[in-house]
Amino acid sequence: MAGPAKHELGFYLLRYVPDAVRNEAINIGIVLVESDGGFADVRFTQDWRRVLCVDPGADVEWLQAMERDIKIRLQQASREEVLYQLQDVCSSAIQISPPQGCLSENPGHELEELMKTYVVPPALHAGKRMTSKRQQLRASIFNSFKDQGIWQMMFTDIAAAKYTYPGDPLKIDCAYHPDDGVLKMFHAVSLSTDVDSAKVLAFTYPQMAVGISRDQKIGTALTAVVEDRLDRDDEAILFALTVMERSGIAVAGVSEMPRLAEVARQELGL
């Protein structure tokens, strides 16, 4: 018995490029069309933090409106007109890739998979290797505080959305609040597997610090706990370290956690 018919599809990758000279690009969307004029749809990212890290002045509402505009035009255009319509609606800040072909029994499902492959930040669709490495760092943080007997005094999974924007998925791993009035937070960041997470943290933390100061009237300090012996000649790693430090985030190797946990015990008066 023959299997379900496969649809011949073509997809365009949409990339946000705010500065043509620096040519830093962020994949923001996928347009997927069927060659015989059947399926046609567009999907943009729902998480704009990577765009805002590269371009803090990005007009997210305009980008969201562009997605709606493209969706309408796709329903009205023939397949031959798709590229023309994309070029018409996009500006110089948006690059359109040449079309790439694929086959799928379910075009809607294929669009979701293409988004995971090209657009969604890896940490959000749980790449196994990445999750494992960050979880190892996170476990080292937790164990260091447990070894000092202060884990019961820690706050965990502090939601950024309470202080930034509704829907913000970031949760800071843990924190403690000594008598000096500064909330001291710790968050595992795997630079060997997910450099982009450092940019997200660097973008989010200053806004979070403002929100905590406003709502709780206390200061904040954040330490990003990273792998030991990172290759600091690697431009991506060096960039990640720089953006975090510029956002007021201290960076510590995971081997420093026993000492930092001991300091925490002393600051908590135990």
- What integer pLDDT is reported at residue 128 of this predicted model? 43
Q: Which of these, 254, 256, 263, 240, lies nearest to 182 by C-alpha position?
A: 263
- CATH number of the domain bearing residue 154: 3.40.1350
Report CA-CA distances (Å) from 14 to 47, 71, 84, 262: 15, 14, 14, 48
Q: Are residues 256 and 197 in the same domain?
A: yes
Task: Indicate the helix (H) or strand (E) that contains 112.
Answer: helix 107-118
Please indicate, yes or no, if residue 212 is contained in any of the structural domains.
yes
Range of the domain at 165: 125-267
For β-strands 182-188 and 219-226, DSSP reports them as parallel
> Within a domain: residue 2?
no
- Please report the pLDDT score of residue 56 as a whole number: 76
Residue 164 domain flag: yes
- d(Cα 168, Cα 194) in Å, to the nearest integer? 18
Residue range 100-106: average pLDDT? 84
pLDDT (tens digit per residue) in 113-170: 888 888 886 654 444 444 468 888 988 999 899 999 998 889 998 999 899 888 888 8
Q: Is the pLDDT of residue 205 over 70?
A: yes
| Top mean-pLDDT range of 10-19, 227-236, 252-261 | 252-261
Q: What is the mean pLDDT of residues 5-12?
A: 82
The pLDDT confidence band at residue 80, using thresholds 50, 70 and 90, is low
Report if residue 1 sits inside a domain. no
For residues 21 and 105, state if they share a domain. yes
Task: Mark whether 140 and 208 lie in a shared domain.
Answer: yes
**Which of 120, 149, 168 is the C-terminal boundary of a domain?**
120
Same domain, 77 and 22: yes
Q: Is 207 a residue whose pLDDT tops 90? A: yes
Is residue 28's pLDDT more than 80? yes
Number of domains in the chain: 2
| 17 is a domain residue | yes
CA dist., res. 266 & res. 258, Å (int) = 13
CA 244, 245, 250 angle in degrees (round to 5)? 95
What phi and psi, each to the nearest 5 degrees, are found at residue 48? -95, 10
Same structural domain, 198 and 102: no
Q: Mean pLDDT across the stretch 51-60? A: 80
Q: Identify the weakest region by mean pLDDT among 6-20, 76-90, 121-135.
A: 121-135
79 band by pLDDT with thresholds 50, 70 and 90: low
| 51, 87: one domain | yes
Domain boundary, last residue among 120, 142, 163 = 120
